[in-house]
A and B are shown apart, each in its own frame.
Chain A
Amino acid sequence: MHATALESTHIALGARMVPFAGWSMPVQYRPILDEARTVRTKAGLFDLGHMGRVKVHGRHAEAFLQRLQTNDVAAIPPGRIRYAMILNAQGLTQDDILVYRNPKNDGFFVVINAGNTERDLGIMRDVAKGFDVVVEDCTRALGMIAIQGPLSQQITQRFCKGDLATVKYYGWIDTEVCGIPMTLSRTGYTGEDGFEVYVPNGHEKKVWDAFFEAGSKDGMTAIGLGARDTLRHEAGMPLYGHEIDETTNPLEAGLDWAVKMNHDFVGKQALEQVLQKGGTGRKLVGLVSDGKRCPRQGYPLVANGQQIGHVCSGSISPTLETNIATAYVRTEFTAPGTKLEFLVRDKAEPCTVRELPFYKRAK
């Protein structure tokens, strides 16, 4: 089991630690729904040391990434970031990733899911054959801390060098935090404004404490992976192993905006065939259910007694004050307002199709 540099800090804060993708991680410090509300209304601090982090550089770095993933890396300006997917030759999803072009335009940085890190590195090294490129796993060389919530900028600005107001959404900069050079991006996985900082190994505690010192008086608290999942789900962001996995393609998952067909990536031909056929016959939708039972991953969805889909993720939504779920359903049942039922131990509970995302912050 891996541990991040902040494990003892979490335990001292009273966290409940759980194994997650081979890492010991804090699932919660307080009730999960309270933590989610703190992020929506104030700010929350997350240890994301488990996420995979990879530097990509060399003469063919851009060409390599164009082959590896679905988005158009050539169109990313220096200091900007794009969401993308790694597919297999069948067009099925191996991971969802963020691709950063370095602010100095001297290479790229890729953030990948903890649970897929080893597989992704294997895929990257395979694809790298034939390219003059260096794929450098720096998961252990860098820590990763996120602040998320409407107060993120004002809290971070108190101890971070540079004017954070100039950092655009999905932009990143080289800066100094606590006098230590590091990079900071305006990204996150909650649907709120916020930043992620990539901390050189050994300085994680100092940076974590700086956030706490600057943010506690505004009500910022540490937030666990439980609330992070609820927040991303409300914001309509997919989670690998739920909405996307090696049985789904990005088109049916509603992620076509992250797929640019103007370059030759692994899985492109398979996606072209899907497009020619007019899709796979199913789509990812949102569901709401006002009953006591919450739809959960794997529950069957039925209409007129026939199974027409299944649930990918289900949460109690503290922001919408109802139960929410994402699900793959047959295309003819995807219209918002469609009434369906989900089965809990063979008991049918009503739910209604709605558009994703469930939550969008006011800008």
Chain B
Amino acid sequence: MRPNDCKFLKSHEWCKIENGVATIGITDYAVSHLSDLVFLDLPKQGASVTVGESFGEIESVKAVSSLYSPVSGEVVAVNKELPDHLEWLGEGPFTKAWMLKVKVTAQSPDLMNTAAYEAHCTAEG
């Protein structure tokens, strides 16, 4: 189910870079481990994000987790409807639950391909 054209961070964010623009979200693994999501805080269009720094927060019934950016650059689009439809994260974490589109100026050196990410998830259990 995890797409082959995405790159992943160990902290379970994914990005897919096309024509210099990265689409960013979180993986099915993250969604199933957070469970019972209640709140999502995303940056506004025009904000800038930085590799390895928090770009937002996601809150479940029991915990708050930071979301880490796989790329640096300017936010050119935000999935504004997603905070009101957190169920999309369960239904389509790599499709309709995308979070941001960022005009990429730098990428994290730690991005993994799908096979490496699968191995990472297996190791985390």
Residues of A within 8 A of B (CB): 16, 27-28, 31-33, 226, 229-230, 292-294, 296, 315-316, 345
The contact sample of 19 A-B pairs, CB cut-off 8 A, is A16-B35, A27-B62, A28-B36, A31-B35, A31-B36, A31-B61, A32-B61, A32-B62, A33-B36, A33-B61, A226-B61, A229-B62, A292-B39, A293-B59, A294-B38, A294-B39, A296-B64, A315-B61, A345-B57
- Are B59 and A32 closer than 8 Å at their CB atoms? no
User: Which residue of chain A lies nearest to B56 when distances are taken between CB atoms in the complex?
Assistant: A345
Q: Do the beta carbons of B59 and A230 come within 8 Å of each other?
A: no
Q: Which of B38, B59, B61, B63 has the most CB of A within 10 A?
A: B61
A interface: dominant SS? mixed
Q: A291's closest neighbor in chain B, by CB?
A: B39
| A270 nearest CB across to chain B (Å) | 34
How far in angstroms is the closest Cβ of chain A from B76? Answer: 23
Contact A230 to B61, CB < 8 A, known contacts A31-B36, A33-B36, A316-B38: yes
Task: Count residues on chain B whose CB falls below 8 Å from chain A CBs.
Answer: 10
A19 CB, min distance to chain B CBs, angstroms: 11
Closest to A323 in B: B38
Enumerate chain B residues within 8 angstroms of A293, measured Cβ to Cβ: 39, 59
Task: Give the distance in Å from the alpha carbon of A28 to the alpha carbon of B61 in the complex.
Answer: 12
Residues of B within 8 A of A229 (CB): 62
- Measured between beta carbons, the chain A residues less than 8 angstroms from B35 are 16, 28, 31-32
Is there contact, CB below 8 Å, between A316 and B61? Answer: yes
A226 to B57 Cα, complex, angstroms = 20
For residue B36, which residues in chain A have a CB less than 8 angstroms away from its CB? 28, 31-33
Additional A-B contacts beyond A31-B36, A226-B61 (10; CB < 8 A): A28-B36, A32-B35, A33-B36, A33-B61, A229-B62, A230-B61, A293-B59, A294-B38, A296-B63, A296-B64
Question: What 1/0 mask marks residues of chain B from 19 to 31 whose CB sits below 8 Å from any chain A CB?
Answer: 0000000000000
Q: List residues 26-67 of chain B with CB under 8 A from any CB of chain A.
A: 35-36, 38-39, 57, 59, 61-64
- CA–CA, A97 and B54, complex, Å: 40
- Residues in A with CB closer than 8 Å to B61 are 31-33, 226, 230, 315-316
Residues of B whose CB lies within 8 Å of any CB of A are: 35-36, 38-39, 57, 59, 61-64
**Shortest Cβ distance from residue A343 to the other chain B in the assembled complex, whole angstroms:** 13
Closest to B54 in A: A345
The CA of A229 and the CA of B63, in the complex, are separated in Å by: 12
Contact A226 B62 (CB under 8 A): yes
Cα separation A316 to B63 with both chains bound (whole Å): 11
Q: Which of A16, A226, A315 has the most CB of B within 10 A?
A: A226
A296: chain B residues within 8 A (beta carbon):
63-64
Shortest distance from the beta carbon of A306 to any chain B beta carbon, whole Å: 24
Chain B residues whose C-beta falls within 8 Å of the C-beta of A33 in the assembled complex: 36, 61
A27, B64: Cα distance in complex, Å: 16
A91 to B112, CA, bound (A): 52
A28: chain B residues at CB < 8 Å are 35-36
A32 neighbours in B (Cβ, 8 Å): 35-36, 61-62
Chain B residues lying within 8 Å of A315, measured Cβ to Cβ, are 61
Closest 5 CB pairs of A and B: A32-B61, A31-B36, A32-B36, A292-B39, A316-B61
- Chain A residues positioned under 8 Å from B57 (CB to CB): 345
How far apart are the CA atoms of A294 and B60 in the complex, in Å?
10
Interface centre among B39, B62, B64 (most CB of A within 10 A): B62
A292 to B39 Cα, complex, angstroms: 7
Q: Which single residue of chain B is at the shortest CB-CB distance from A293?
A: B39
Instruction: Report Cα–Cα, A313/B27, bound state, in Å.
Output: 28
A33 vs B39: C-alpha distance when bound (angstroms): 15
In angstroms, Cα B59 to Cα A292, docked, is: 10
Bound state CA distance, A32 and B39, in angstroms?
Answer: 15
Q: How far is the CB of B69 from chain A (nearest CB, A)?
A: 15
Min CB–CB distance B65 → chain A (angstroms): 11
Nearest B residue to A294 by beta-carbon distance? B59
